[in-house]
Chain A
């Protein structure tokens, strides 16, 4: 079946470097995407979102890129800090029959930042 997935389950980067976390989605009807950060013992925390009518959106130190042609989503974190160490999830919204849809999550990528 269709699902949201990730290319890499783990990513290790040096403090100060840029991080890129990738996500592949398979449903071409998805029109809203979100990245979440989850620290140990806590609920997922919203990072940034993007609609399908955009291909790039920037936040503070984060950028999300959407390539609908190859159904690919990425999260770029600039100047990665130890506090960025967490599991990152992408999620897609699929609306059927005029409903507002629900978020379907990928399995997550664990980011480790080395000091």
Chain B
């Protein structure tokens, strides 16, 4: 049972480049979400999904897109990377909003 798997673990982008952070879970969880973690800021919610075909914005959605075509996968797209998007990104899943989130081990992104 792999839980939540994020790829890649590390990524360096130049300003203006685009990329997709991958997230997959094998627990058949309906709820999935993306957070970013910056020093001194805790984890902030970017986007979330309550099921396949349904996504919504979190606290800091600007510059990011998501889609949820299957229950298992929830990719996060950076359309045009900016230095302000340098952060550690965590994907998480849960049975519902009232059950514990299971987190992946993160993607460390640097934008130069």
Contacts and interface: CB of A to CB of B under 8 A. Distances in A.
Chain A interface residue number, banded:
20 to 34
B40 interface: yes
A108 B41 CA distance: 9
Interface in B25-52: 31, 33, 35, 40-45, 48, 50
B101 interface: yes
B103 A104 contact: no
Given A44-B90, A89-B43, A107-B41, A99 B103 contact: no
A34 interface: yes
Interface in A27-70: 32, 34, 41-46, 49, 51
Nearest to A42: B105
Say whether chain A's binding surface is mostly helix, strand, loop, or mixed. Answer: strand
A105 B43 contact: yes
A100 B103 contact: no
Interface residues of B, number: 26
Most interface-central of B59, B97, B100, B106 (chain A CB within 10 A)? B100
14 contacts: A32-B98, A34-B101, A42-B106, A43-B92, A43-B104, A44-B43, A44-B103, A46-B101, A100-B31, A101-B98, A102-B58, A102-B97, A105-B35, A105-B42
Interface of B: 4, 31, 33, 35, 40-45, 48, 50, 58-59, 90, 92, 96-98, 100-106
